[in-house]
Amino acid sequence: MKNRMSHQKLGWSALMLGVLSLSSASSVAAEEKQAKPAESKKTTPARAAGGGIEQEKTVPNIESGKWTGPRLADGQPDVSGHWSNTIANHNNFTDPQGGIPNDTGTPNQQQRPLGPRGERAPSRVSDPADGQVPFQPWAIEKVKEFRSGFTNPTKGELVEPLARCAPAGIPKSLYWHGYEIAQFPGYVVFYFNSGTRIIHLDGKPHLPENIKLWNGDSRGHWEGNTLVVDVTNQNGKALFGRTGEFISENGHIQEKYIFQKGGTRFNYVAVLTDPTVYTRPFTVTVPARKWTAKDKTNGWHFEVEPSNYPANYTGKRGGLDNFERICTENNNGFGLGAAEKPQQ
Partner 1 sequence: MNTLLINQSSRLHGLGVTLLLAACVLTSSLLSMEATAAVQKTPLLANGKPDFSGIWQTTSAADYDLEPHSNRKDAPPGAGIVEGNVIPYLPQALEQKKKNFEARATNDPKLKGYTLGVPRGIYYPEPFQIFQRPSDLSIVFQFGHSVRTVHTDGSIHPREDRVEDWWLGDSRGHWEGNTLVVDAKFFNDKTWLDSAGNFHSDQYHVVEYWKFLDPNTIGYKATIEDPQVYSRPWNISVILYRHREKNFQLIEDYRFTLDYDQFYPPKPNK
- Does the protein bind partner 1 through residue 344 (CB under 8 A)? no
Nearer to partner 1, 117 or 155 (CB): 155
Among the listed residues 32, 119, 223, 329, the single contact to partner 1 using CB under 8 A: 329
Nearer to partner 1, 29 or 140 (CB): 140
Nearer to partner 1, 125 or 158 (CB): 158
Q: Which amino acid, residue 133? A: V
- Does the protein bind partner 1 through residue 23 (CB under 8 A)? no
Among the listed residues 13, 64, 126, 331, the single contact to partner 1 using CB under 8 A: 331
- We find the least distance from the C-beta atom of residue 222 to partner 1, in angstroms, to be 18
Report the distance separating Cα 82 and Cα 32, nearest Å: 20
Among the listed residues 11, 18, 195, 220, the single contact to partner 1 using CB under 8 A: 195
- Closest by CA to 54, choosing from 6, 101, 15, is 15
- Closest by CA to 251, choosing from 132, 137, 139, 84, is 139
Report the distance separating Cα 62 and Cα 124, nearest Å: 16
Chain positions 268 to 327 lying near partner 1, rule: CB under 8 A, are 305, 307-310, 313, 315-316, 319, 321-326
Chain positions 229 to 258 lying near partner 1, rule: CB under 8 A, are 235-239, 244, 246-249
- Does the protein bind partner 1 through residue 138 (CB under 8 A)? yes
- Does the protein bind partner 1 through residue 2 (CB under 8 A)? yes
Report the distance separating Cα 161 and Cα 140, nearest Å: 19
- We find the least distance from the C-beta atom of residue 188 to partner 1, in angstroms, to be 10
- We find the least distance from the C-beta atom of residue 307 to partner 1, in angstroms, to be 4
- Does the protein bind partner 1 through residue 223 (CB under 8 A)? no
Tell whether omega for the bond before 128 is within 30 degrees of 0, i.e. cis. Answer: yes
| Residue 271 near residue 282 (C-beta atoms within 8 A) | yes
Report the distance separating Cα 143 and Cα 149, nearest Å: 10
- Does the protein bind partner 1 through residue 70 (CB under 8 A)? no
- Does the protein bind partner 1 through residue 148 (CB under 8 A)? no
Residue 178 φ/ψ, nearest 5 degrees:
-70, 165
- Does the protein bind partner 1 through residue 36 (CB under 8 A)? no
- Does the protein bind partner 1 through residue 328 (CB under 8 A)? yes
What does DSSP say about strands 217-223 and 226-232: parallel, antiparallel, or unpaired?
antiparallel
Report the distance separating Cα 335 and Cα 100, nearest Å: 15
- Closest by CA to 105, choosing from 37, 66, 152, is 152
| Residue 218 near residue 192 (C-beta atoms within 8 A) | no
C-alpha distances in Å from residue 250, one per residue of 87, 140, 148, 160, 277: 29, 17, 26, 20, 9
- Closest by CA to 12, choosing from 330, 277, 255, 332, is 330
- Does the protein bind partner 1 through residue 129 (CB under 8 A)? no
Number of residues that bind partner 1 (CB under 8 A): 71
DSSP per-residue string spanning 208-240: PTT--BTT-EEEEEEETTEEEEEEE-B---S-S
- We find the least distance from the C-beta atom of residue 285 to partner 1, in angstroms, to be 23
- Does the protein bind partner 1 through residue 4 (CB under 8 A)? yes
- We find the least distance from the C-beta atom of residue 104 to partner 1, in angstroms, to be 22
Nearer to partner 1, 245 or 255 (CB): 245
Nearer to partner 1, 6 or 126 (CB): 6
Among the listed residues 167, 220, 241, 299, the single contact to partner 1 using CB under 8 A: 167
Among the listed residues 87, 121, 165, 270, the single contact to partner 1 using CB under 8 A: 165
Q: DSSP secondary-structure letter at 57?
A: S
